């Protein structure tokens, strides 16, 4: 590794260690799933304020292990430091201090997602490709397997999925994989066949009609999918979450805005949703332009019930 890269690696380690120590005194003893946090109702609330969603960082793109005891999330640290993967879990009833993922590389890394069985984690990284020393010019999708000793070495995801320059994975319990295709920009999916992911297919126009559609979050049972879309509002870019429901014949309802259900504002950006493995809660990122602050919010999944009733009825 080049001397300059070593220097910055050491500097970042010192900064992250300092931040961890500063947080340590404020970490309470928590128990139960979702890192011991009190679940929200029908009004979105910041997730784990002061622990995961901290004042000194921007947090988004969270994923939960199937047992709801472990998370990875993306945090951008002060002064525009690159997005990095952070990790926390409950151990012996106590929350571990969030820290950089044990397999992290000194580069932009984000978009973590657990496989349905929790034995594999997918994520985006600009780490060097095999045989190269320099960082990749763009994010590639890597995966890492969990072993009895911990996490194995990261591996680059191959074809056919990686051919679409994918972003932000989401799985059903049956293993169907949904993701954002960057070329072209749309939501695609792939089914697991004989242990391998098959040809990539696109979701119908009922979902892919949205501009700059991205970040699919599918329900564990595959009954609905949440995506986000960016648009202009008063000459400024805004972002909203949209939801589509899978009908009994396998088709999808037209994706509609969740703005009213989430009591969302016109000026903030809502994106990167995630449905918990038990289907009970919906997580998402909220970016507030005026304060340049991004936090992870969560809400009871029952907020979609009224939207579902209207969507299914209008499609009949």
pLDDT score for 9:
45
Where in the sequence is the domain holding 190, given as residue range(s)?
3-314
Query: Does the pLDDT of residue 86 top 70, yes or no?
Result: yes
258: pLDDT strictly greater than 70: yes
- What's the confidence (pLDDT) of residue 158? 84
Give DSSP secondary structure letters for 99-153.
EE-TT--SS-EEEEEE-TTSSEEEEEE-PPPTT--SPPSS-EEEEEEEETTEE--
Over residues 192-248, the pLDDT tens digits come to 888 788 889 999 999 999 999 999 999 999 999 999 998 777 777 778 999 999 999
CATH code: domain of residue 310:
2.120.10
The residue among 125, 215, 229 whose CA lies nearest residue 170 is: 215
- How confident is residue 4, by pLDDT bands cut at 50, 70 and 90? very low
Q: Could you give the 3-state DSSP secondary structure of residue 277?
A: coil
pLDDT tens digits, one per residue of 91-137: 877 768 899 999 999 999 999 999 999 999 999 999 999 889 899 98
**pLDDT over 90, % of the chain:** 59
- The pLDDT of residue 81: 67
The per-residue pLDDT for 316 is 57
Helix (H), strand (E) counts: the chain:
3, 24
Q: What is the pLDDT of residue 29?
A: 54
Q: Which of 50, 38, 146, 32 is nearest to 89 (CA)?
A: 32
pLDDT of residue 183: 79
Cis peptide before 200 (omega within 30 of 0): no
CB neighbour class for 191 (10 Å; exposed up to 12, middle 13-18, buried from 19): middle
* All residues at 6 or more sequence positions from 150 whose CB lies less than 8 Å from its CB, including other chains: 102
Q: Are 298 and 283 in contact (CB under 8 A)?
A: yes
How many distinct structural domains can be found in the chain?
Answer: 1
What does the pLDDT read at residue 131? 86
pLDDT recorded at residue 31: 59
The pTM of the full predicted model, rounded to 2 decimals, is 0.87
Report the pLDDT value the prediction gives residue 8, as an integer from 0 to 100: 37
């Amino acid at each position: 590794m080049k001397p300059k890269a070593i220097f910055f690696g050491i500097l970042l380690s010192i900064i992250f260690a300092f931040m961890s120590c500063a947080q340590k005194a404020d970490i309470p003893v928590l128990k139960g799933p979702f890192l011991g946090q009190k679940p929200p109702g029908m009004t979105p609330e910041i997730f784990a304020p002061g622990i995961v969603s901290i004042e000194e960082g921007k947090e988004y793109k969270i994923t939960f292990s199937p047992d709801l005891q472990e998370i990875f999330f993306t945090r951008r640290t002060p002064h525009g430091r690159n997005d990095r993967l952070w990790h926390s879990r409950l151990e012996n009833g106590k929350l571990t201090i969030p820290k950089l993922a044990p397999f992290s590389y000194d580069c932009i890394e984000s978009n973590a997602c657990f496989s349905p069985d929790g034995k594999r984690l997918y994520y985006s990284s600009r780490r060097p490709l095999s045989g190269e020393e320099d960082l990749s010019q763009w994010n590639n999708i890597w995966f890492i397997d969990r072993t009895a000793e911990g996490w194995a070495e990261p591996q680059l995801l191959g074809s056919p999925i990686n051919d679409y320059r994918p972003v932000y994975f989401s799985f059903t319990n049956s293993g169907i994989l949904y993701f954002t295709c960057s070329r072209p920009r749309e939501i695609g999916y792939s089914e697991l066949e004989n242990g391998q992911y098959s040809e990539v297919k696109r979701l119908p126009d009922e979902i892919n009609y949205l501009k700059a559609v991205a970040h699919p979050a599918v329900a564990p049972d595959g009954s609905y999918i949440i995506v986000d879309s960016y648009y202009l509002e008063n000459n400024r870019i805004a972002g909203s979450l949209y939801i589509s429901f899978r009908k009994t014949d396998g088709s999808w309802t037209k994706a509609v805005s969740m703005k009213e259900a989430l009591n969302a504002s016109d000026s903030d950006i809502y994106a990167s949703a995630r449905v918990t493995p038990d289907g009970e809660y919906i997580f998402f990122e909220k970016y507030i332009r005026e304060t340049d602050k991004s936090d992870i919010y969560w809400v009871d999944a029952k907020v979609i019930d009224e939207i579902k009733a209207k969507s299914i009825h209008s499609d009949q």
